[in-house]
Homo-oligomer: A and B are copies of this chain.
Amino acid sequence: MSRNSNPERHAQRMAIKQKIMQQRIAQAQKEQGILLVLTGPGKGKSSSGFGMVARALGHGMKVGIVQFIKGAFSTGEQAFFSQLANVDYHVMGQGYTWDTQDREQDMAAASAAWDVVAKMLQDPSYDLLLLDELNIALKYQYLDLDRVLDDLQARPAMQHVIVTGRNAPPELIELADTVTDMRALKHAFKDQGIKAQKGIEL
């Protein structure tokens, strides 16, 4: 269990989850919003999230995107998605980087970004939310894990949420409906000295 999760709150959450699961089993083939976590060191987590965004847009769905790392990769996705109708695109805090030594500033930026997410999580007009690299903010404990998990659990029944980033906390994996762990069998950028390539890495 992550250091920043309250055991009592966790037990409550799991009791709610158990109830939801029992309802699911009783109502097989139920339609419901999916909480999808894409984690692990392999390449493709964020790309996969953005691919699902494209798919959702192809269905005419409304999508919210919040990127929790600014400038971690190039703005290819931002250039593409932010210009589209039906997409509400946010990049976390001005000047925010993981390199900064100012932890308080980082936490304030993460908290402000979560405020944006929390509003979307209360708004059923959003069909799909992509919380890109949220796991990094959780790993660094820039956000309160219980607040995040509670807000996710309280979202509209049909809303889908995709969370990406390495090192997803166990509590988030427990809450999720679908979890993919992406393993790197090979990585051109790391293993082979190939420069990060536009369209693939960037």
Is there contact, CB below 8 Å, between A40 and B183?
yes
Q: State the majority secondary structure of interface residues on A.
A: mixed
Query: What 0/1 pattern do residues 168 to 193 of A give for CB contact below 8 A with B?
Result: 00000100111111111111110011
Is there contact, CB below 8 Å, between A76 and B58?
yes
A1 at the interface (CB under 8 A from B): no
Query: In the complex the two chains form, what is the Cα distance from A40 to B192 in whole Å?
Result: 22
Is there contact, CB below 8 Å, between A55 and B59?
no
Distance in angstroms from A171 CB to nearest chain B CB is 14
List B contacts of A198 (CB < 8 A): 56, 59, 61
Is there contact, CB below 8 Å, between A184 and B189?
no
In A107-147, the 8 Å CB interface with B consists of 127-128
Binds B, one of A8-16, A78-86, A90-98: A78-86
Is there contact, CB below 8 Å, between B24 and A193?
yes
Query: What 0/1 pattern do residues 39 to 64 of A give for CB contact below 8 A with B?
Result: 01011111111111111111101000
Residues of A with Cβ closer than 8 Å to B?
21, 24-25, 28-34, 36, 38, 40, 42-59, 61, 74-81, 127-128, 160, 162, 173, 176-189, 192-195, 197-202
